Amino acid sequence: MAVYKAHNRLGRRGRGQCERCAAPASDGSVFCEKHRADVAARAGNHGASLEKRCAILAAQAGQCPICGRTVELWDSVDHSHIEGKVRAILHPRCNQLVALAEATGPQTLERVRAYLWPGRKTRPRR
């Protein structure tokens, strides 16, 4: 980034303006409402604000619904690719597992279960 661009951005920040335009910055942010939404969408939050993430985490009792271990506020936000709704906060690896399972379907998951645990009708206990 050129020095003059960095200087301009820092100057706007000091005046309480958005880093990308001259609009007033939102409370607790360096961006205006428009650019704040853009940054949140690209950050992988899938539109989940900090307040919504806190509510989801409280509803989950701080536990990952996939592995049962404790999740943090900054872990992955899982969402439905069909409906676009946020479902839960998961560990990054659990989120990858869910995305793969969603993409492949229940028949493939059943074949994976049969491959990993042959002869079992139910999943193994931990």
Q: pLDDT (tens digit, 0 to 9) for every residue of the chain, 126 residues total?
A: 555 555 565 666 667 778 778 788 777 677 777 776 665 555 556 667 788 888 999 999 999 999 999 998 888 888 887 777 888 999 999 999 998 998 899 999 999 999 999 987 765 566
Q: Tell me the sheet residues that pair with 24.
A: 17
pLDDT computed for residue 85 by the predictor? 85
Q: Which CATH class is domain 56-126?
A: alpha beta
Assessment of whether the complete model's pTM goes beyond 0.85: no
Where are the alpha helices (H) located in the chain, listed in sequence order? 3-14, 33-42, 50-59, 92-104, 106-116
Q: With b meaning 16 or more CB within 10 Å and e meaning fewer, what string describes 78-96?
A: bbeeeeeebebbbbeebbe
Six token digits for residue 90: 């998961």
Give start-end residues of each CATH 3.40.1800 domain in the chain. 56-126
pLDDT for position 41: 54
Please state, in angstroms and rounded to a whole number, the distance separating the CA atoms of residues 89 and 72: 8
Give the distance from CA 36 to its chain's centroid. 16
